[in-house]
Amino acid sequence: MPGRKGGGWEAWLAVAEWLAIIGAGTSVPGPEHSRVGRLDKLFHFAGFAVLGFLSFRALRTSRSVNRPVAAFGTGLATGLVAAGAEAAQAHIPGRHPSLGDVAAGVAGGLTGGMGAAVMEPPR
């Protein structure tokens, strides 16, 4: 329920768990990870779509945040996480940061957030 005072920690726990999954996937050394080719962008899109969905729901559940603000916050947060994940890859053997991966992550995060907004029942 949106704006539940003191509630919503369960929704943020789901966000934290998904961030851990993204972090684990980001930290896998190459080159075996590079076998996925162009599917890499699809994986980024899908992974960050889930993050966007969960983040939007957490914002709406734990705070009195309207849909546009929650959507903007979701887009900003997923963009920062996508950029951070790619920057971290510069320090992982066999991995290289990619602006295309950041773009796929941002697009996925926004799509997931918008999907959550559309699926949210009216008040």
Burial of 46 (0-12, 13-18, 19+ CB in 10 A): middle
- Domain locations in the chain? 14-26+35-119
Say how far apart CA 80 and CA 21 lie, in whole Å: 16
Give per-residue pLDDT as tens, 85-106. Answer: 999 988 888 888 899 999 999 9
Total number of residues shown for the chain: 123
Banded pLDDT at 9 (limits 50, 70, 90) = confident
Give per-residue pLDDT as tens, 25-82. Answer: 888 887 654 566 678 899 999 999 999 999 999 998 877 788 888 888 898 899 999 9
Q: Phi first, then psi: what are they for 22, rounded to 5°?
A: -60, -45
